[in-house]
Amino acid sequence: MDTRERLIESAQALLWERGYVGMSPKAIQDRASAGQGSMYHHFENKAALASTAIARSAEQLYASARKEFTQPCSALDRIVAYLNRERDALRGCRVGRLTQDPEIIADPQLRQPVQEMFAKLTQELASLIVEGQKAGEFSAEMNPEDTASTILAVLQGAYVLARAANSTEPYDRAIAGAISLLKHQGGVKRASRK
Amino acid sequence: MDTRERLIESAQALLWERGYVGMSPKAIQDRASAGQGSMYHHFENKAALASTAIARSAEQLYASARKEFTQPCSALDRIVAYLNRERDALRGCRVGRLTQDPEIIADPQLRQPVQEMFAKLTQELASLIVEGQKAGEFSAEMNPEDTASTILAVLQGAYVLARAANSTEPYDRAIAGAISLLKHQGGVKRASRK
DNA sequence: GTCTATAATTCGATAGAC
DNA sequence: GTCTATCGAATTATAGAC
């Protein structure tokens, strides 16, 4: 693997572990086994390298979610599979994590890939919910975009709870609770409709 | 207000905005209008001051949640009121935010108040759900602890979505979706029970 | 492309005067 | 209690040799 590539992957890992503020050029170089001059040859500065690394992480995460969303099973099952996908709860989300960084939020270049990834995931989930509504899996009263946001929020928040507790238990509980709510929703309306 | 107090409040604000890694002693002193010597007179080091500040933020947040949990209305209404409470979505949660900080998670002294706050909020919410089940507001099939974790996760994750989008919209949507799921859950089971 | 040298600034803290 | 002086290390680069 060439140096430029190693620098990007090194930055991706450090952004995940320590965020933009906590990631020093020295640390990037050490992890990539690259010298000072090497890094500044390939990237103008820390922000430029971070921008490349963030965009790549967002694309990778979106691509792996797409796989879950396009499985050949019911919409509800695909959403449940997405929620149940193996994740390293204690490490957190490598893209969601970046939203806590003031310098990333303040810089449109750094924030844009993050914004785009969540916007696209929301749209995919909302489409799945519409599909599920047509199939009778979800109540027609359900707002697809609201519910899509709720699903993403549960995932992101579950990471927070896991890290606070230093345990995966609250993560697993939050996911289980969300799945239960999704599976048992709308019944009142459906039941009353006869 | 005395210097020690100003230092704590200054640290609370900086931890919220920039996290532990992004908060420098210099910044704390400047915001508190205190000198270097002053800070190191009142606190052994940066970690000791941060520990005091984190504990205070966690207590304040828990106290304000308690108010919502003890209103004189139904359990469901209290949960909905808690979810709907005015929050500055773009600023994020001043306690949840800390879970992204590697140095806070690694140091039991710094993490403990965060862990405790979420554990207590989970217990309070779980109790409310049990109360709601007894009153017939929630399905008896619902797992109180799971659902309590889901509710906290939605809130924490909604902040993430808001900051990613630089807009309160996904926050509002996530909350609305969660409330809708809570209100319309369990109907199938109840209906089938006759 | 990669390396080493240099540099201004900040970080996190200590020492000691007042 | 608060202040200024000082400190070694790290940060975020730039310059220029190879």
> Where do runs of H (alpha helix) occur along A19-135?
25-32, 36-42, 46-69, 75-84, 102-106, 108-134
- The letter for the amino acid at B111 is R
pLDDT, tens digit (0-9, with 9 covering 90-100), for A52-72: 999 999 999 999 999 999 999
Q: Among partner residues B173, B175, B185, which is closest to A184 by beta-carbon distance?
A: B185
Report CB contact under 8 Å: A170, B92: no
Instruction: Measure A180 CA to nearest chain B CA, in Å.
Output: 8
* Range A83-110 average pLDDT: 98
What does the pLDDT look like over B78-112, one tens digit per residue?
Answer: 999 999 999 999 999 999 999 999 999 999 999 99
For strand D, which nucleotides have at least one atom less than 7 Å from a protein CB? 1-6, 10-17
Model pLDDT, residue A147: 98
What's chain B's average pLDDT? 95
Which chain A positions have a beta carbon within 8 Å of B19's beta carbon? 19, 21-22, 100-101
Show the tokens assigned to A71: 């499985």
Stated as kind and residue range, the H or E segment containing A156 is helix A144-165
Distance from A129 to chain B by nearest Cα, in Å? 12
CA of B41 to C1' of C16 (A): 13
Q: DSSP assignment, residue A185? A: T
By C-alpha distance, which of A57, A56, A78 is closest to A66?
A78
Residue A189, pLDDT > 70, answer no
The amino acid occupying position A34 is A
Closest CA to B154 of B119, B185, B182: B182
Task: Give CA–CA dist A160/A155, Å, rounded.
Answer: 9
For B9-60, what is each residue's pLDDT tens digit?
A: 999 999 999 999 999 999 999 999 999 999 999 999 999 999 999 999 999 9
pLDDT score of A188? 40
Average pLDDT over residues A169-180: 98
Residue B119 has pLDDT above 70, yes or no: yes
Q: What is the pLDDT of residue A185?
A: 86
pLDDT at A146 over 80: yes
Q: What is the pTM of this model?
A: 0.96
The per-residue pLDDT for B187 is: 52
CA distance B11 to B119: 24
Comparing CA positions, the residue from A135, A119, A118, A161 lying closest to residue A78 is A135
Given a cut of 60, whether residue A190 has pLDDT beyond it is: no
Residues of chain B in contact with residue A102, where contact means CB-CB under 8 angstroms, are: 17-18, 22
Binary contact (B139, A170; C-beta < 8 A): no
- Please choose, from the candidates A163, A148, A187, the residue with its C-alpha nearest in 3D space to the C-alpha of residue A93: A163
Q: Render pLDDT for A119-131 as a digit per residue (tens, 0 to 9).
A: 999 999 999 999 9
Confidence of residue A194 (pLDDT cuts 50, 70, 90): very low
Asked if residue A96 lies in contact with residue B100, where contact means CB atoms within 8 angstroms, the answer is no
pLDDT score at B185: 87
Which pLDDT score, from 0 to 100, does residue A192 have? Answer: 36
Q: Taking 90 as the threshold, does the pLDDT of residue A115 lie above it?
A: yes
A25-CA/C7-C1' distance, Å = 16
User: pLDDT tens, B120-148?
Assistant: 999 999 999 999 999 999 999 999 999 99
Mean pLDDT over each residue of chain A, to the nearest integer = 95
Give the one of A101, A155, A164 whose C-beta lies nearest to B157's C-beta.
A155
Residue A4 has pLDDT above 60, yes or no: yes
* Cβ partners under 8 Å of residue A7, min gap 6: A28, A29, A32, A34, A38, A39, A42, A43, A49
| DSSP SS3 for A165 | helix
Among candidates B141, B186, B92, B150, which has minimal Cα distance to A151?
B150
